[in-house]
Copies of this chain bind each other. A is one copy, B any other.
Amino acid sequence: MEESVYSSYPPELSSAQQNYLVTAVKDWAIQNGLAVRPGPAILPEGIDPNGVLATNAPVTLFPSPFPRACFEDATALQTVYNELYAAITCNEQWLGKIVEDLIDVDDFVANLWKVHLAVQKEGYVQNLSLGLFRSDYMAHNSSDHAPALKQVEFNTISSSFGGLSSLVRALHTELLTSPPGSPISYPSHPLLESSTPPENTAVETLSAGLAAAHKAYGPSKSSPALPLGVLFVVQEGERNVFDQLALLKQLTGFHKIPVFRVLSTEVLNQTSIPSSNPARPLIYHPPHSPASIFEVTTVYLRAYYAPDEYKSSRDWDARTHLERSAAIKCPTVLNQLSGCKKVQQVLAEPTGPDHLSSFLSGTDSTVIAKLRETFAPQYDLSSVGQGRDLALNSDTALKHVLKPQREGEATTSTNQRFLDSCESDWKGWVLMELINPSASAKNVALRNDGEVLQGHVISELGVYGTILWDNTGKIHHNEQGGWLLRTKGKEVNEGGVAAGFSSLDSILLF
């Protein structure tokens, strides 16, 4: 069934059809904010010194077929995943044991852990944490079963593309149904005539999570009381700004909550914690209106997730400054650390303690079993055992990938890197069985420079969830909603939609 769906899809495009779709998509993208700021590959240095230009986000011309059962499993499991990662974050001892094992191979993890220890020593003043998560999956094919949902990774910081992904869903839906009454934007194909992509509430869900935290913060801790607001901490030169602005628009327009964007490099200049106030409110000083200060209820990080963002000790000081404040962090340092690939591997461990059941003690065992089924087999490489055996054998190595623990390093599909590295570094990697997506999936993508690519593709489904909990483990808000499909040409190994290597997509369920 699955392969037959993909085999005739998408329909061939005549040159007039392709021109029509490309023009429609290019224009729709700019009209509706499905946009990115162009990178140096499009604009040579010196052009556009004021940074006014924008281009379409890279998108597929067609939505991609995706197995309905896998999609439904992923959405059904999201609130359970939310709870799992909240519980892990609450269990500092369990998480600390994994983290401390990584300290000597991963400076970044080591430095994050130091931030936690420093704030712990002083004492945390905020017991609420907010998670805006995205769990990423592929539909795994095996010869004898229907496609099964397999998790690629679980993101606990800066889960992106909720804003743009909702727009891609709207774009494809419009193409599928236009013109009204007599749709002819796409060539005829049974799959394109039978359905539209499922609703995508990523913007509403993620914003509602931030709004829930803002509300849970309670009244101002300053005296006299200050107006309250949410802070988005963002990277300088962010090209994916319109994705973030979609959430900001919903927060200000719908929830009526003040939101400010602060560059991560400006955190120490534009925010302060009054030393005289033991509640440690985080005060925002708008540079454009220095007299009008605000108290920050919630810090939403769209920065500080990658090692190369911490260029000096000042950046670590800024992170510590935010962490020790009374603002609710999305995420806390501990919650960021719970997203380690090593955590995934420990959870997936087939033998030993049943971590899942203990973290999800209130959850039905069939649901836990369902969640466990989303784990691809993963192996520890820190010591002699099955993982090293599989990685060192050239036959079995081919069926596995090495996933780096360190953020920013590439997943690699051979064992050469592993063999070349020093044995003491091996624990910086996790060996994961290859997920086997459909071999015949195809699509056509419009890059953000306007070039059209077509061929075989691999798609990754992301499902969004938000959760607000306190450090006793009590959950105050737990929602699932919205999704992302990222589709890349098979020859490309890494994601990174904003960089133009992969495309934003939407789904037709079958």
Contact = CB atoms under 8 A, between A and B. Distances in A.
Interface stretch (A12-20, A296-304, A326-334): A12-20
A288 B30 contact: no
A51 interface: yes
A325 interface: no
A179 B27 contact: no
A31 B249 contact: yes
A241 interface: yes
Contacts of A181: 227, 256, 258
Interface string A239-258: 00110011001001000111
Contacts of A286: 20, 184
B182 A242 contact: no
A347 to B, nearest CB: 38
Interface string A1-43: 0000000000000101101110000110011110100100011
A178 B47 CA distance: 32
A30 B32 CA distance: 8
A260 interface: yes
Nearest to A46: B44
B27 A292 contact: no
A232 interface: no
A31 B33 contact: yes
A271 interface: no
A180 B50 contact: no
Given A33-B33, A179-B229, A14 B50 contact: no
Contacts of A51: 26, 450
A180 B48 contact: no
A362 interface: no
Interface string A263-303: 00000000000000000000000111100101000000000
Interface residues of A, number: 58
A315 interface: no
Interface in A202-217: none
A53 B43 CA distance: 10
Contact of A16 (B26, B52, B288): B288
Contacts of A395: none
Contacts of A420: none
Contact of A53 (B55, B245, B292): B55
B180 A256 contact: yes
A155 to B, nearest CB: 24
A56 interface: yes
Taken together, the copies of this chain in the complex come to: 2
A448 interface: yes
Given A249-B31, A292-B182, A50 B449 contact: yes
A508 interface: no
A289 B178 CA distance: 12
A14 to B, nearest CB: 7
A54 interface: yes
Nearest to A182: B227
A241 B29 CA distance: 13
Given A182-B227, A292-B184, A53 B50 contact: no
Given A14-B288, A182-B292, 12 more contacts: A16-B288, A31-B246, A31-B249, A44-B47, A48-B449, A50-B449, A50-B450, A52-B55, A53-B53, A54-B55, A179-B259, A180-B252
Nearest 6 interchain pairs by C-beta:
A50-B450, A179-B258, A20-B288, A31-B33, A184-B289, A52-B450
Interface of A: 14, 16-17, 19-21, 26-27, 30-33, 35, 38, 42-44, 47-56, 178-182, 184-185, 187, 227, 229, 241-242, 245-246, 249, 252, 256-260, 286-289, 292, 294, 448-451
16 contacts: A17-B289, A30-B242, A31-B245, A31-B249, A42-B52, A50-B450, A52-B56, A52-B448, A52-B449, A178-B258, A179-B258, A179-B259, A180-B258, A182-B258, A184-B288, A184-B292
